[in-house]
Amino acid sequence: MGAIPTQRETTSRAPGAPAHHGADRRTTVRATLSGSSLAPGSARGLVRAALHEWAELGLPGTEFLTDRLADDTMVVVSELVTNAVVHAGTDVELVCRLEETDSIVVEVADHHPSRAPRDNNTEPAYETPEFGRGLRLVSTLAEAWGVTYRTGTKTVWARLSAQGTLAVEELGPYAVERGLRVAEILAPEPQRAERDRDWLGRGALSFLAEASDLLAGQLDEDLVAALAGQLIVPRLADWCAVWLEDEALGRWGSPRSSGAESGGGWSEDAGAGAGPRLARVWHGSENRIEELREALEKDPPRPPDSLRPVSYPWPADALGPHGTYGAALAYRLIAGGRPLGTLVIGRSGLPCFPDEVTGLVEDLSRRVALAIGAARQYARQATISRVLQRGLLPGAVAEIPGVHSALVYEPCDKGGPSGDFYDLFPAGDGRWCFALGDVQGKGPEAAVFIGLARPWLRLLAREGYRVADVLDRLNQLLLDDATEAAEAAAHALVAARGMPGPVGDGPRFLSLLYGELVPFDGGVRCTLASAGHPLPLLLGPDGSVATAARPQTLLGVVEDATYTSETFELRPGDSLLCVTDGVTERRSGSVQFDDGDGLATALAGCAGLNAELIAERIKRLVHEFGGRPPEDDMALLVLQAE
């Protein structure tokens, strides 16, 4: 380690701590990860990308970077970060460094120095951390590893050498598969756990690493439970079940204090209040699943005092003549200190499970818990975002006499609030107003900002202010203390709801196209202004296209900015197209959709179409322009005089 530690606790197969004097900065990757269940997957992704980049650059030391060493590194990174997330709960600092001396150094730091990692053979006096075989895997794979304590920080480090003795077993070309089929392929062959102890010590490492990636990619807790069952049955157990607990319930039931009679803390007394939900039941024989489910629902698990797996009552009546006796174990699913549920496995004809199987399922259960935690975090964020989005957009688009309108609105993040917004509303005195805007940034800050800007627009319009005056006043409002209130509200929202992602303290900018429509006999008078927004285009019945406004400064940037507006008439058959930059800046390689007046050309081809068909064609052309899905929010509004 670089600095001399104030205290060190080390276990290693080779003496000495890793050194990095004079290391090439390009061979070091550093990251600070939030202490959430998403951290292990993010860490693996960062290190995987770094190893690939180092190899492509041909940096010193990469001549020793074999596939075996890369696989071992991924397992160590996953284990150390998972350990820090589950048992420290703080932000995690990751460093991965390629050394010229044919080795890779991994360092994972958290901010709970009082909590040391735990080996299965030791029993610390304080509440602890690591169960399962995580640090044993690190010890096996690493040339040396240890723990360094500094004030307020504990760092677990490991050095892996190309000359090491143990390689992670390759699993073959199955990696392109996904879903339940992947789980099926990842798991060991039936009965292999008993006949092939070598696999449990070597191939299991690769199984756990790949299972982690599979589980981490799921956004639904019930699918995580299904994958867990598919990974375990029938390869490690004859049957398994996953119960999920409502986070609001916390601990429930009444675990027995001694646990002597019930095999490690299992209580037969029913707990008070609502219990967990039996999310998934798997059995090697499908015709036993429903009968097993009914039996298990009558006797849900009660959380044991110990975090170690404990015995579970054998459901003999549900398993037929060949399942009259056997062994069953229950594993608590905990992530970030929060109980999420219980995983139960069972095998007929055995008085107890082999230690190797128990340890492997224990490691897998930790990954299942992290995946469930991540899925719940995503669900919470998606729910909050949907509520926010409903409050940011109008419930309905107003119908304007003599005008046919069509709207396309596509947030890039389907589960989160968009930075784009629109509105079309009556302003009184025979006037209708419309707006299409884009706030700098996304997430809760942008949502709160839109939540302020839209009501201001409506209020100013209904007070009778002209188009240019509305922009003048809105610009000033965005620059005054209301912006600070918006940012404070966004910070509070993030803190209260646990929504991920940074909240910036910089200024908020708004690009806005705002206009007023006044129908009259024979047409519609339109007055509009564009503040830093893509300019609207006017399509005539003959296919001619013209720009309908002049460019002006973004709102919320220049305090003394003065805005002007243009007025023109929409005659029957004229169509006004308004878009956000998700349309004009849609990319295909280095080319944008609006390069060379691409949007105007596309609109000219819409002559003779009604408003809905124009909107649909522009949307289709934008989607077809790039080979990948859009990376920005997109909104477009078509107003056509009848």
Three-state SS annotation for 401-418: CCEEEEEEEECCCCCCCC
Most confident of 169-178, 293-302, 405-414, 546-555: 546-555
Nearest CA-CA partner of 302 in 256, 248, 263, 367: 256
pLDDT of residue 17: 45
The least confident of 81-85, 122-126, 284-288 is: 122-126
Residues 6+ apart with CB under 8 A from 480: none
In this prediction, residues 569-592 reach a mean pLDDT of 93
* 554: helix, strand or coil: coil
Chain-centre distance for alpha carbon 217: 9
CA distance 508 to 449: 8
**Mean of all residue pLDDT scores within the chain:** 76
State how far the Cα of 638 lies from the Cα of 405, in Å rounded to an integer. Answer: 5
Contact 44, 212 (CB under 8 A): yes
User: Is-contact 117 156, C-beta < 8 A?
Assistant: yes
Nearest-angstrom CA–CA distance, 339 and 592: 49
Higher confidence at residue 448 or residue 634?
Answer: 634
Which pLDDT tens digit goes with each residue over 427-439? 999 999 999 988 8
Find, among 327, 368, 382, the residue nearest to 351 by Cα: 327
Cα dihedral across residues 290, 291, 293, 297: positive or negative: positive
Q: Which residue has the higher pLDDT, 386 or 440?
A: 440
Q: What is the mean pLDDT of residues 137-156?
A: 80
* Residue 495 pLDDT: 55
Please report the pLDDT score of residue 636 as a whole number: 93
Check residue 384 and give its pLDDT.
66
Residue-wise pLDDT for 116-136, tens only, equals 444 433 333 333 333 344 566
Q: What is the mean pLDDT of residues 55-75?
A: 82
How much is the pLDDT for 472? 93
Residues in the chain: 642
CA distance 74 to 77: 5
Res 287: pLDDT: 81
Tokens in use for 545?
Answer: 């296209």
DSSP 359-407: HHHHHHHHHHHHHHHHHHHHHHHHHHHHHHHHHHS-SSPPPBTTEEEEE
583: pLDDT strictly greater than 90? yes
Cβ burial, residue 239 (10 Å; 0-12/13-18/19+): buried
Please give the pLDDT value at position 26. 77
pLDDT of residue 236: 82
CB atoms within 10 A of CB 640: 24
Report the C-alpha gap between 619 and 634 in whole angstroms: 9
Q: How far apart are CA 21 and CA 232, in angstroms?
A: 45
pLDDT score for 514: 96
- 3-state secondary structure string across 251-294: CCCCCCCCCCCCCCCCCCCCCCCCCCEEEEEEECCHHHHHHHHH
Tell me the one-letter amino acid at 231.
L
* Residue 414: pLDDT band with limits 50, 70, 90: low
Averaged over 371-385, what is the pLDDT? Answer: 80
- Cβ neighbours, 10 Å, residue 175: 14
Helix (H, G, I), strand (E, B) or coil at 592: strand
Percentage, residues of the chain above pLDDT 70: 70
The band of 637, judged by pLDDT with boundaries at 50, 70 and 90, is: very high
Count Cβ neighbours within 10 Å for each residue of 187-220 and write b for 16 or more, e otherwise. Answer: bbeeebbeeeeebbbbbbbbbbbbbbbbbbebee
Residue 543, classed as helix, strand or coil, is: coil
Q: d(Cα 496, Cα 380) in Å, to the nearest integer?
A: 12
The mean-pLDDT minimum among 200-214, 436-450, 530-544 falls in: 200-214
Identify the pLDDT of residue 128.
35
Contacts of 18 (CB under 8 A, 6+ apart): 1, 97, 99, 103, 105, 144, 157, 159
pLDDT value of residue 249:
47
Total Cβ atoms within 10 A of residue 61: 20
Q: Taking the model in full, what pTM does it have?
A: 0.48
pLDDT at 123: 36
Distance CA 483, CA 474 (A): 11
| pLDDT value of residue 52 | 86
Sheet of strand 510-520: strand arrangement = 420-428, 431-439, 510-520, 523-531, 566-570
Identify the pLDDT of residue 489.
Answer: 55
Q: Model confidence at 79, in pLDDT bands (50, 70, 90)? A: confident
Segment 598-609 shows an average pLDDT of 94
Compute the average pLDDT of residues 345-367.
86
What per-residue confidence (pLDDT) applies to 194?
A: 44
Output helix, strand, coil percentages for the chain, rounded to the nearest 5: 35, 25, 40
Mean predicted confidence (pLDDT) in 188-198: 46
Other CB atoms within 10 Å distance of the CB of residue 81: 25
Greatest mean pLDDT among 341-350, 505-514, 539-548: 539-548
Contact 582, 619 (CB under 8 A): no
Taking the CA atoms of 597, 432, 515 and 557 in sequence, report the sign of the dihedral they define. Answer: negative
Between CA 494 and CA 443 the distance in angstroms is 10
More confident residue, 184 or 539: 539
